[in-house]
Amino acid sequence: MDVALHFKVQDLLARYAKTIDDDQLEAWPDFFIEDGRYRITTAENFARDLPLGLVYATSRAMLRDRVRALREANVYEAQRYRHVIGPPVIEPLDGGRVQARTSFMVVRTMHGGEITMFATGSYADRIVLDASGGEPRFAEKVVILDSRQIDTLLAMPL
């Protein structure tokens, strides 16, 4: 096992989750390369090879638009996420890239204190190991939700 590679990918995933959980959403798009792709889908759609996303972005600019919409336009009750991320299963790809499959859980806590298991699933990621600045970044992140059902609404990214 390439221990350094594993640490690098795990560190990327840990920092990604911390950024969302700490509500630093403005920094979230920077985890992607400029034409990085981000999609939230369900395990059912994924298995049937259906392309629909709950969120479907094909560039970092689209992710920045989503953050600005969440900050300035959309209305949703104050809430926070807590990601718990498992160890990634990593496979090498060509061109300094790897793919990683990682389990996650997100617990949502509402401003009134209500705690809900909001989402479980896996990340299917393609990662560029030495993207701009020498940092690893996502070329693609597909968030595959185990459940087809979202409680109330899905505002912040997963």
The span of 14-22, 91-99, 126-134, 144-152 binding another protein (CB under 8 A) equals: 144-152
Q: Give CA separation, 107 vs 82, 136, 143, 151, 157, in Å.
A: 5, 26, 15, 12, 13
Maximum pairwise Cα distance, the chain: 48
- Output 48 or 95, the one with its CB closest to another protein: 48
The span of 17-25, 68-76, 80-88, 94-102 binding another protein (CB under 8 A) equals: 68-76
φ, ψ of residue 102 in degrees (nearest 5): -140, 130
Q: What is the dihedral sign for C-alpha 123, 128, 130, 133?
A: negative
Binding mask 30-49 for another protein (x = CB under 8 A): ----------xxx-xx--x-
Site residues for another protein per CB under 8 A: 40-42, 44-45, 48, 50-59, 61-62, 64-66, 69, 72-77, 148-155
